[in-house]
Amino acid sequence: MPKLSPKTRPLIVEQVDLIRIVQEVQEAGIFALDLEFVTEGFYSPKLALVQIAWGQITEPQIALIDPLQVDVTDLVKLVADVNICTVIHASQADLQILGDQFGARAENFIDTQIAAAFAGFQDQVGYSNLVDQITGVLLNKASQFSDWMQRPLSEKQLLYAANDVEYLLECWNHLEAKLRQTRRLQYVLIECDSVADLWSTRPPVALAYLKVDKAKSLRPTELGVLRNLAAWREIKARESNVPRVRILSDRTLIEISRAMPESTEEMTVIRGLTSGQIRNFGDTLIEAVVSGRADPVKLTDKKSIRKSNSASLSSVLNAIIQKEAKAAGIASRFIATRPEIDELVHWFLSSTAASDEPELRILQSWRRELVGNSVLEWLGGKKAIKATRDSDVGFTLS
């Protein structure tokens, strides 16, 4: 059967057509999903196109849906349906948009980029490379950074959009078979669920100050002020759907936190704060300053209390994790990041009780089974590292 051209896949712009498609996807029980969006000028990206594929694995039905013309809420609800599997590649941005704009949390979804990393493919493999390796099809990515808000969309854009979902189900079918064979499928399901938790909801606004540049340079009282200012800015940016910097820049937040003005008049000398900003929300900022000064924050700097052998222990643990990850055919970042390794070392050096294990990924679920127990046994002196010429990594752990 010949591949359909983009001309035969016009944009879905009528609600009645979308209702029919939703019913068909429900019957299929699984569908591929991709979103095109515009990030520039928005806090949460502006959704510009929704692409889905369902039905036969190698010759799926494809729909390109115009969210500027139809309400896609019923389609998004399928992502939150535990009885329907949603397949996405590199899902972070898609999950965030679905969470921000529709309050949807993916309940039964597969990220093929994650699945590929557990199936022996390159870590963070791109969609086109994955399609090439599994199906032999070379995709044209020329329209990747085009203007998706323009109407009408060009035929090149329609073809690109269709390609982004056309091979997803086939890729997942191949990956699922490999994961079942290696008994890694459950690992992927757990990881995808964790990703859904992480990206479907925004962090609490009370923690927004932790992302402000130079926050760690502030004193506890100044941090209390910054916490309130950053929380206010976060709420304002979300409500207006504009970038945070459009409200106030990080630098300006830091300057206000250090100056701790007591009146709008004192704000006029703060660099980066315009007269219009002072006029529009100066009183609100003063309230944030006053309440923040009364409630200081002290960041815990664990680096300052780490012992001199922390770096050496972290390096050894990292080597052990790399070794076990390679043997399992899994990207090491899925097991533990360097900050998590450092946190484990800090716990080991400062703790005397085995019952107070830190809540780290490496000590939970499949990671503990695969690597975590071996790491704890090495830290506890129950296992030793031995140099060897025969090992790919130059040592064994026994």
- Percent of residues, the chain, with pLDDT higher than 90: 77
Are the C-beta atoms of residues 67 and 50 closer than 8 Å to each other? Answer: yes
Strand partners, 85: 30
Element at 72 (helix H, strand E):
none
- Confidence check: pLDDT of 396 > 90: no
Helix residue ranges per DSSP H, the chain: 15-28, 73-79, 92-102, 112-118, 127-135, 155-166, 168-182, 185-199, 220-240, 244-247, 250-259, 264-267, 275-293, 310-328, 338-350, 365-367, 373-379
Element at 362 (helix H, strand E):
none
**Would you place residue 2 in the very low, low, confident or very high pLDDT band (cuts 50, 70, 90)?**
very low
- Confidence check: pLDDT of 59 > 60: yes
- Confidence check: pLDDT of 4 > 50: no
Least confident of 135-144, 255-264, 316-325: 135-144
Instruction: For residues 319 and 276, give the distance between their C-alpha atoms in angstroms, rounded to a whole number.
Output: 55
The residue that leads in pLDDT, 357 or 27, is 27
Prediction pTM value? 0.88
- Confidence check: pLDDT of 353 > 60: no
The residue that leads in pLDDT, 379 or 141, is 379
Tokens 């606004």 belong to 205
Question: What type of residue is 220?
Answer: P
Are the C-beta atoms of residues 270 and 256 closer than 8 Å to each other? Answer: yes
Burial class (CB in 10 A: 0-12, 13-18, 19+), 257: buried
Least confident of 65-74, 264-273, 348-357: 348-357
The residue that leads in pLDDT, 308 or 63, is 63
- Confidence check: pLDDT of 8 > 60: no
Ordered structural domains, the chain, with CATH: 6-199 (3.30.420.10), 205-293 (1.10.150.80), 303-397 (1.10.150.80)
Residue 53 DSSP class: E
Tokens 């203007």 belong to 147
Q: Average pLDDT, stretch 198-221? A: 94
What's the count of helices (H) and strands (E) in the chain, helices before strands? 17, 8
Q: Average pLDDT, stretch 334-361? A: 84
Mean residue pLDDT across the chain: 91
Q: Average pLDDT, stretch 208-212? A: 96
- Confidence check: pLDDT of 391 > 80: no
**Would you place residue 32 in the very low, low, confident or very high pLDDT band (cuts 50, 70, 90)?**
very high
Q: Average pLDDT, stretch 191-208? A: 94
Are the C-beta atoms of residues 169 and 60 closer than 8 Å to each other? Answer: yes
Instruction: For residues 34 and 144, give the distance between their C-alpha atoms in angstroms, rounded to a whole number.
Output: 13
pLDDT attached to residue 305? 47
